[in-house]
Amino acid sequence: MPIFIRPATKEDEAALSKICLETSDAGESGRDLHNYPSLPGEVYALPYVNVSDCVWGFVLVDKPTETSPPSDESVVGYTLGALDSRAFEAATAQAWWPPLKAKYAGGSLTTPQPTETDKKYIKSIMDFPPASEAQIAFSPAHLHIDILESHQRKGWGKRLIGTAIRHLKEKGLKAVWLGMDPRNKAAALFYERLGFHMFDGAPQAVLGITVEEWENKWENGNH
């Protein structure tokens, strides 16, 4: 089956939300943890195809055959991020979080009741934590990456991140960071293998890599 990477668009919303949910519990499906299963995507995926020009994204697409129509394509992974995390925080504060705050306002959710996991995401919507100064000092850019289990451990994660880093370089960025669930040991090993590392002042489970480090490890013949 042909698999390829293309820029993410707003039309990918449903797939992005599904992938985010299916990987939200430390890399495993979080579907059984939610009465409001749209929450993970609303917090960590959908803003990147809805807010200002500071965002970017790429999706991993699988289709049955080379000649299959676009309607038969399946989005099976993504990397999403912001060129400028402070601009992203400002844009989401203005245009993304307000309608979600109204949607999930205290007392408005009664049937069904939010689960404890739902409540954690709702807390983020109500007061999304900004990036630390150390994160911004390392790079204004950040990324997320998630891939469905069916397409993991096949080299696509590295290709997605490579695509993202080349895009960031074209935009003049010299590094990027990400946050991960510290429970997700497989992700920690994946990022370590790719060359991500802790940096000065980084909060727990925040890792970064410079464009130069990535190129030296993966694009200068050192594979």
Interval 91-112: pLDDT, tens: 999 999 999 999 998 777 777 9
Is residue 205 classed exposed, middle or buried when 0-12, 13-18 and 19+ CB atoms within 10 A define those classes? middle
CATH number of 3-172: 3.40.630.30
CA-to-CA dists, residue 13 to 19, 44, 45, 132, 177, angstroms? 10, 12, 8, 28, 23
Instruction: Give residue 84's region: left, alpha or beta (phi > 0; psi -120 to 50).
Output: beta
The position carrying tokens 């960590």 is 44
Q: 3-class SS at 200? A: coil
Stated pTM of the model:
0.93
Q: Are 185 and 117 in contact (CB under 8 A)?
A: no
In this prediction, residue 126 carries a pLDDT of 97
DSSP string, 182-194: TT-HHHHHHHHHH
Interval 48-82: pLDDT, tens: 999 988 999 999 999 877 777 777 789 999 999 99
